[in-house]
């Protein structure tokens, strides 16, 4: 038996699932055809700049979407990197449908996850179970470089709506736009 046939056979026997639903072989092949391996350097990927929105942040914080359904075609996870300036914050929010792992590559942050509050430093790993409140504040003098991994897609679409591609005109989100975006993406992220 050739490897592709064996893999398809194992997949059927193991009842391969996508988003909780069983897929027909033709659907699995379509999804597999859309995925592609990626090898990205530190500053490569879909580079974006936050537009800024009422009560959250000023325009200018940057992040890079590395892997998601659009970049690499992953149907199961989202991987991004982000920079957070001194005194910058990621406001209190939760992800109803995805676990998250946040890894600090550099900097010092005060992290509140659920009822736990800690000051953490470069090398720290924070696990945020789905539907758990999380906030991060840069309490150091240097930028924080962080990596985020999500167990399911969704949040990346919210992030695209509240940002622009690097180099595009950056206009802050209005209160009305913020409310509409929050409603559209409440399955992926909820802010306090």
User: What's this model's pTM, rounded to 2 decimal places?
Assistant: 0.80
Cβ count near 53 (within 10 Å): 20
Task: List average pLDDT for each run of 10 residues in the chain, which is 192 residues long.
Answer: 35 34 41 79 96 67 95 96 94 97 98 98 98 98 97 97 94 93 97 94
Please state, in angstroms and rounded to a whole number, the distance separating the CA atoms of residues 66 and 56: 24
List the CATH code of the domain at 46-191. Answer: 2.60.120.10
Q: What is the pLDDT of residue 56?
A: 55
Q: What is the pLDDT of residue 54?
A: 65
Per-residue tokens: 1: 């038996």
> Which pLDDT value is given to residue 61?
85
Note the pLDDT of residue 183: 97
Chain centre to alpha carbon of residue 7: 29
Please say whether the beta carbons of 35 and 67 come within 8 A.
no
Residue 109 CA to residue 126 CA, distance in Å, equals 11
CB 66 within 8 A of CB 80: yes
The residue ranges of every structural domain in the chain are 3-34, 46-191
């Amino acid at each position: 038996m050739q490897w592709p046939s064996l893999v398809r056979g194992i997949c059927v026997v193991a009842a391969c699932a996508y988003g909780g639903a069983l897929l027909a072989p033709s659907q699995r092949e379509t999804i597999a055809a859309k995925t592609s391996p990626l090898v990205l350097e530190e500053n490569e990927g879909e580079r974006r700049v936050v537009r800024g929105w009422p009560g959250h942040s000023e325009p200018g914080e940057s992040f890079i979407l590395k892997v998601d359904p659009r970049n690499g075609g992953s149907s199961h996870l989202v991987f991004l990197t982000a920079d957070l300036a001194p005194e910058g914050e990621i406001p209190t929010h939760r992800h109803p449908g995805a676990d998250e792992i946040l890894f600090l590559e550099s900097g010092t942050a005060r992290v509140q996850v659920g009822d736990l509050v800690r000051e953490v430093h470069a090398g720290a790993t924070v696990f945020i179970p789905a539907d758990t409140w999380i906030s991060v504040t840069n309490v150091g003098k240097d930028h924080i470089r962080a990596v985020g991994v999500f167990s399911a897609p969704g949040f990346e679409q919210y992030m695209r709506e509240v940002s622009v591609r690097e180099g595009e005109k950056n206009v802050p989100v209005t209160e009305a736009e913020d409310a509409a975006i929050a409603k559209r993406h409440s399955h992926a992220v909820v802010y306090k």
